[in-house]
Structure 1
């Protein structure tokens, strides 16, 4: 009986190890992450999104492929002349799927707040009262889940700056958050190597917020 249990434990350990170190998954993710850097139009963006979604179909226990697909839809909405509401809605649908795969994940929560902020930017006059508090609450949750997440702090800084500019108030809080964000990015950069698959975006946004403090 003990021998059978030992054999079963070894089998589980082997399976876990195989899934934890999947060269095909890692290679596919690296290829798509690299492709993200070459996007110049909505069509190219959608092609990379589709690539991430194909990976997500195969590795349905991984949150990162769906996360990156949601991120690209969000960035495309900000960057290109597209139906912004439609893109943000698609991004929200994707990030909600990622949330089911990995609940209470700071990165997923931060991106969810970013999408809400995008929806708000489409029509701030009519959406501000509902969406501004929701975005702030979502960024606050992301920071609470991981105080070392530079994107959570940076997005909160962006939101604070936007609100300060809208209401004509001081930008001190936004500037303080941006400085913390840049400190966190410096810590994160020390961990990044060629095998790093986790999100690294956001430093430019923190620098943009800080530029409004001069």
Structure 2
């Protein structure tokens, strides 16, 4: 009996590893991740987002396609003249689906905080009291789940900076957190290769802090 249990367990592990390193999935993801870097218009953003959603439909056990589709919704809301609330809500919907696949995931938790921060930015006077602690809690949770996640740390720094500007205080605390995030980004670069499809963004946010934190 133990022998059969062992065979079953080994078979399950082999199947899991095979799915985790599916060349077709990685190739499709890499193509769209590269396309993200060239987006200049809303139409291009929607096209890439739809491609990620098609990958998600083909690979429903993978959280990354939904992650990137959500990220594109958030970035589109900040970059283009669209219904921002609608875009942030769509992002949150994708994140909820992804969280069912990968619960307690630092990247997804940080991205959820990013979407909440976006909704806050639409109407800070009326939403600040409710959404500020929600975003801070999500960033704190993302950091607790993975203390080497540079995006969670940089987004926390962004919230700290926003609060400092709102209350008329200095950026020192935000800058300290941002420097930690920048250091983590540099450390992360050692893991990245051509087939790396996990999130790596954050350089633009880090460079914006360099102007504030001189």
Report TM bin, short chain: over 0.9
Distance in 2 separating the partners of 1:50 and 1:139: 27
Distance 1:175-1:50 versus aligned 2 partners, 3 A rule: same
3-state SS in 1 of match to 2:191: coil
Structure 1 position 208, deviation (Å): 1.1
Matched, 1:192 2:183: no
Task: Provide closer, same or farther for how the CA distance between residues 15 and 83 of structure 1 changes in structure 2, counting only shifts above 3 A.
Answer: same
Match of 1:209? 209
**Post-superposition shift, 1:76?**
0.3
State the distance in 1 between where 2:133 and 2:8 align: 51
Match of 2:82 in 1: 82
**1:1-214 alignment, distance < 5 Å:** 8-214=8-214
Q: What root-mean-square deviation, in Å, do the aligned CA atoms of Structure 1 and Structure 2 show?
A: 1.5
Matches of 2:119 and 2:32 in 1, distance apart?
26
Q: CA–CA distance in 2 between the matches of 1:185 and 1:128? A: 29
Offset, 1:53:
0.7
3-state SS in 2 of match to 1:39: coil
Pairwise CA distance, 1:59? 1.1
So what's the TM-score if we normalise by structure 2? 0.95
Q: Structure 1 residues 99 and 17, CA, compared in 2 at 3 Å: closer, same or farther?
A: closer
Deviation sequence 1:87-117 (CA, Å, 0-9, x none): 0110011111111111111100000000001
Query: Deviations along 1:1-50, whole A, 9 cap, x unmatched?
Result: 67655654554344233212211101100011011112111111111111
In structure 1, runs of 5+ residues without a counterpart are none
Give me the whole-angstrom Cα distance separating, in 2, the residues matched to 1:82 and 1:76. 8
Q: What SS class does the counterpart of residue 147 from structure 1 fall into?
A: coil
TM-score (norm 1): 0.95
Q: How far apart, CA to CA, are the structure 1 residues paired with 2:117 and 2:13?
A: 43
Question: How many residue pairs get matched?
Answer: 214
Structure 2 gaps of 5+ residues are none
